[in-house]
């Protein structure tokens, strides 16, 4: 299907949804995600015409109560996973371009959620700068949730700021809390230890 010729609303109906903590790479199917305080980064190789999107949260600074997982690595992991998935498909790092969105504060923001959004936005900018990947456009912070639609075959990204209704806030809050809980879980005894370097 030629998605590029369709209006964004019609493209969205065909998009694969990327949940919190996930990423996806494609060269045909549109990708979408719904953000609260999380961030989504879209990476695109204009020569190969392939791209991908992730959706991540940086929870509280420091190690989990189990001491096994540095919770700040979730953002690093999401960025490395997306980058590696693109490189595996033939993308070249020097050609990559980025667009990034999120870090919003939705309904009755407390200091904690405001801090998470700011840290997500700062981390994203710092990571991309460190890796030498230009950030072509972004929409960070503010009192909005966001719907992001990414066309991985041409690098176009659409970001719609949403006045957060109670229903939307509930869905986002539930998904982000479930994601944060998975980051804090103690690995099962059968899990192998992974050494990050």
The strands making up 50-54's β-sheet, listed across from edge to edge, are 23-26, 50-54, 39-45, 97-102, 135-140
Pick from 92, 101, 85: which is nearest to 45 by CA?
Answer: 92
Pick the catalytic residue from 38, 41, 106, 149: 38
For 23, which DSSP code? E
Judged on CB neighbours under 10 Å (0-12, 13-18, 19+), 26 is middle
- Only one residue has tokens 């929409």, namely 139
- Reply yes or no on whether 42 is catalytic: no
Distance from C-alpha of 86 to C-alpha of 94, rounded to nearest angstrom: 12
Q: Using CA atoms of 90, 25, 23, 148 in order, give the dihedral in degrees to the nearest 10.
A: 130
User: Which of the residues are catalytic?
Assistant: 38
């Amino acid at each position: 299907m030629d998605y590029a010729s369709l209006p964004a609303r019609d493209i969205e109906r065909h998009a694969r949804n990327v949940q919190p903590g996930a990423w996806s790479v494609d060269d045909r199917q549109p990708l979408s995600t719904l953000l609260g305080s999380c961030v989504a980064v879209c990476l695109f190789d204009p020569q190969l015409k392939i791209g991908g999107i992730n959706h991540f949260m940086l929870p509280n600074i420091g190690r989990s109560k189990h001491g096994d997982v540095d919770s700040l690595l979730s953002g690093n992991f999401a960025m490395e996973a997306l980058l590696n998935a693109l490189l595996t498909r033939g993308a070249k790092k020097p050609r990559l371009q980025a667009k990034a969105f999120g870090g919003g504060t939705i309904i009755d923001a407390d200091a904690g959620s405001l801090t998470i959004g700011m840290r997500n936005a700062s981390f994203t900018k710092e990571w991309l700068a460190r890796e030498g990947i230009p950030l072509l456009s972004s929409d960070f912070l503010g009192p909005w949730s966001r719907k992001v639609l990414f066309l991985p075959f041409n690098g176009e990204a659409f970001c719609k700021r949403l006045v957060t209704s109670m229903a939307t806030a509930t869905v986002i809050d539930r998904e982000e809390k479930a994601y944060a809980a998975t980051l804090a879980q103690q690995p099962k005894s059968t899990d192998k230890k992974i050494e990050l370097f």
